[in-house]
Structure 1
Amino acid sequence: MRLFSSRRSPAVVADDGTITGPVQVDPRTKYLTKRLTPGSIAVIDHADLDRVAAEGLVLARPAAVLNAAKSTTGRYPNLGPGILLDAGIPLIDDLGGTVMDLRDGQEVRISGEEVYAGDELVAAGSMLTAAKLAENMQASRAGLSHQLEAFAANTMDYLNRERDLLLDGVGIPDVKTNFEGRHALIVVRGYHYKEDLTMLRSYVREYKPIIIGVDGGADAVFEAGFTPDMIVGDMDSVSDKALQSGAEIVVHAYRDGRAPGKSRVENLGVDHVVFPAAGTSEDIAMLLADERGAELVVAVGTHATLIEFLDKGRAGMSSTFLTRLRVGSKLVDAKGVSRLYRTRISTWQLFLLAFAGIVALLVAIISTTAGQTLLGLSGAWLDDLWNFIRQLFSSS
């Protein structure tokens, strides 16, 4: 029998594999991972479980994950289920909407592929195994061509609707932050953003880029020990502390002017500007930095491949592809910076290096007989020189 430590109560795994413990429920996985306690049973409703969500669940260390939806629908080969499987976290899939009726803290029993509350069967699903994962991935690859066609169609539709914004910067708001001639570092809570920020510490200290946190990316900036200059997004996953930090706030609005995050920043009494655009928040952050004169745009945790675009689960990711075409040669992925960038050697560092070399040379000389003799002669010569100077001044 194994116990999972939790601030609520420990989840118990019996010898026959039955898991008993408290559940924590939220249809939005990104919200659940913020409060999920180790050892609890996570209950989500997440079709095509993406990599970022799965990595967040793994960090929270649940005893098991119950998904009301299909973790892989076959649209594309999503990576989330495999991440949970590799971490040894049981995933029971396709349980249906009834599992979402469970209450936070309610104790359940997972027996095989069935979930019980007391003696009552709540739902039955499908336990993820290595064989099922391989089968799902094979089927998903077959559907990838259809997704590619849909992605291309969505891209052309976005280009037609946002032509003026992409080509001429029409609609980009005026901001107080001065980007002219400076680097911009855009941080999104995406793939390996923590590792990338760690690798960029020397770069940030030396170049002092304008740091833009995209929604929850602003909190990631604080966690890394930096301070954001600007926060861009619909404000659904950023903390009040970050919004009140003094960073300039750009609220992402829909094209029709609706801005769900606007009321939140107004209630906090924070100054802000509104940026209506059909793309994603990371896209408008890049467009803003580019249009306002940033010399280089460094991206942390953003999306760059087709699988990553599809992982977001929305057609709007086509805007990300076109935004990258617009920003062009200015855009550099953080991993590329960490590989190419080397800290410059400053003058004082060269001085210290030379000083250390002289000290090492003196120590080596002193350790020899000839060196000790030379040191004695040098001392006698300096003593004679000092006496000569004293006599010269005393006679005058």
Structure 2
Amino acid sequence: MSAMKLIPRRSGDSTGRSREGDGAGSVTYGPARVGTRTKDLTKRLVPGDVAVIDHVDIDRVAADALVAARPAAILNAARSTSGRYPNAGPGILLEAGIVLVDDLGPSIMSVPDGAAVEIHGGRIVVGGRTVAEGVSQTVETNEANLLEARDGLGAEIERFAENTLAYLRREKDLLLDGVGVPNVRTVFDGRHVLIVVRGYHYREDLAMLRPYITENRPLLVGVDGGADAILDAGYKLDMIVGDMDSVSDKALACGAEIVVHAYRDGNAPGLERVTALGVEPVVFPATGTSEDIAMLLADDKGAELIVAVGTHATLVEFLDKGRAGMASTFLTRLRVGGKLVDAKGVSRLYRTRISNIQLTLLSLAGVAAVAAALWSTKAGQTFFGLVGARFDDFLSWVARLFGG
């Protein structure tokens, strides 16, 4: 049975797909797809599924991935906007027309994967039994949540500043002197480096950089899922950096050098996965995020220019990740300094607005200009005379052909 958001019909409808709700309006139903990690769940969603997640403060990247999967509804065990900061995710989902019910509690995560789920407003029914009740979000409730969240933004900024100072104390040797940066076989010295992170508008921005990539041939470094974006765009990967939780086996086996991001104590959760594929990686223990160590590695190894796609640059983007470690990105950008060119938003900064008709007229104008220039010379007049004679011969041949 395919799932969809339904407009209530009369009780006499015989399709069996739609039925009136219990006074709460339309009923949405479909098969449940349960996942504790949203980015992993989106890989197995198909249109019409009901995504069951446990995601506090749904961020923009997660929301974009969910919208691309086109589920009928999203059931969130946590609050989609906790009030910590004004996150954009819920608004993106609602704008896409996806039903969003949140604050359902941990019991919703016990729904069997594939079970038929009915959504009656904020009430969730499985097998004729109500299993959870939450808040059915609307544009109005989301706006109220964001307004409330703005009041808590000051406390988040203070916490972010404290985390920044703590990171600086822990990693000052790495930031200032490059202590702990491992040796790699990829040669960065004097090269441009393009680092792709699975962040805001990363696909669009990467597409807009095609002329730059063609002309400058930069080293292409993918941070976790950014590696697949580079391969999907038709390019050859030079390096993959990350904890390897969102990159595909195809990317890991493509021949690029692998740098596994480890914790400061040496624990590297992604190491086992990489070695199981028969790949010998480099391990880089460091606090912070994988995009940080990619930038620090490129800078330490002598890159001439670092172009970043999809990385985090604004305060809301730092807070979107919900991790204290995002403070490292702020300091890393200060460390890299003038080498860094942020390509975020380049796809929105420049979009061609020339239509096909305009291109045709422009081409015809160019041809006319060349013809006028030729006509002004004796050689050009001779050329046009020969062309005219040949054209007369062609017309005469056609006339004889059809005239018998």
TM-score when scaled to structure 2? 0.83
Per-residue displacement from partner, 1:234-287 (whole Å, max 9, x unpaired)?
A: 111111111110000000000011011111111111021100000100000000
Letter in 2 for 1:45: D
Structure 1 segments unaligned to the other structure (5+ residues): 6-10, 341-352, 380-396
Counterparts of 1:362 and 1:160, CA distance in 2? 72
Counterparts of 2:106 and 2:39, CA distance in 1? 19
**2:89 matched to which residue of 1?**
80
**1:110 matched to which residue of 2?**
119
Counterparts of 1:13 and 1:267, CA distance in 2? 48
Per-residue displacement from partner, 1:207-236 (whole Å, max 9, x unpaired)?
A: 000000001110111111112100000111
**2:323 matched to which residue of 1?**
314
Counterparts of 2:70 and 2:383, CA distance in 1? 69
Tell me if 1:66 matches 2:43. no
Q: 2:334 aligns with which of 317, 322, 325?
A: 325
Counterparts of 2:132 and 2:259, CA distance in 1? 43
Q: 2:205, 2:346 within 8 Å by CA — same for their partners in 1?
A: no
Tell me if 1:371 matches 2:381. yes
**2:358 matched to which residue of 1?**
none
| 1:365 CA displacement | 3.1
Q: 2:371 aligns with which of 339, 351, 361?
A: 361
**2:136 matched to which residue of 1?**
127
Tell me if 1:195 matches 2:212. no
Structure 1 207/374 Cα, relative in aligned 2: closer, same or farther at 3 Å?
closer
| 1:314 CA displacement | 0.5
Per-residue displacement from partner, 1:148-192 (whole Å, max 9, x unpaired)?
A: 000000000000000000000000001111111111100011100
Map residues 287-306 of structure 1 onto 2, 5 A cutoff: 287-306=296-315
| 1:14 CA displacement | 4.5
| 1:333 CA displacement | 1.1
| 1:363 CA displacement | 9.4
Tell me if 1:28 matches 2:31. no
Q: 1:4, 1:12 within 8 Å by CA — same for their partners in 2?
A: no
Structure 1 207/18 Cα, relative in aligned 2: closer, same or farther at 3 Å?
same
Count of residues in correspondence between the two structures: 358
| 1:135 CA displacement | 1.1
Q: 2:3, 2:31 within 8 Å by CA — same for their partners in 1?
A: no
Tell me if 1:267 matches 2:268. no
Letter in 1 for 2:200: Y
Counterparts of 1:269 and 1:30, CA distance in 2? 25
Helix, strand or coil for the counterpart of 1:162? Answer: helix
Counterparts of 1:3 and 1:121, CA distance in 2? 19
Counterparts of 2:139 and 2:29, CA distance in 1? 23
**1:350 matched to which residue of 2?**
none
Q: 1:277 aligns with which of 241, 264, 286?
A: 286
Counterparts of 2:316 and 2:370, CA distance in 1? 56
**1:214 matched to which residue of 2?**
223
Per-residue displacement from partner, 1:85-142 (whole Å, max 9, x unpaired)?
A: 1111110010001110112211011111100112111100001112211111111100
**2:170 matched to which residue of 1?**
161
Q: 2:4, 2:30 within 8 Å by CA — same for their partners in 1?
A: no
| 1:334 CA displacement | 1.2
| 1:364 CA displacement | 5.9
Helix, strand or coil for the counterpart of 2:157? Answer: helix
Helix, strand or coil for the counterpart of 2:90? Answer: helix
Q: 1:3, 1:13 within 8 Å by CA — same for their partners in 2?
A: no
Counterparts of 1:118 and 1:216, CA distance in 2? 37
Counterparts of 2:231 and 2:4, CA distance in 1? 30
Helix, strand or coil for the counterpart of 1:140? Answer: helix
Structure 2 segments unaligned to the other structure (5+ residues): 6-15, 351-362, 390-404
Q: 2:223, 2:290 within 8 Å by CA — same for their partners in 1?
A: yes
Counterparts of 1:374 and 1:283, CA distance in 2? 64
Helix, strand or coil for the counterpart of 2:74? Answer: strand
**2:158 matched to which residue of 1?**
149
**2:235 matched to which residue of 1?**
226
Per-residue displacement from partner, 1:297-329 (whole Å, max 9, x unpaired)?
A: 111111000100000010000000000000011
| 1:4 CA displacement | 3.7
> Share of identical aligned residues, percent?
61
TM-score when scaled to structure 1? 0.85
Q: 1:218, 1:238 within 8 Å by CA — same for their partners in 2?
A: yes
> Which contiguous aligned blocks of 4+ residues in structure 1 show a shift greater than 4 angstroms?
11-15, 336-340, 356-359, 372-376
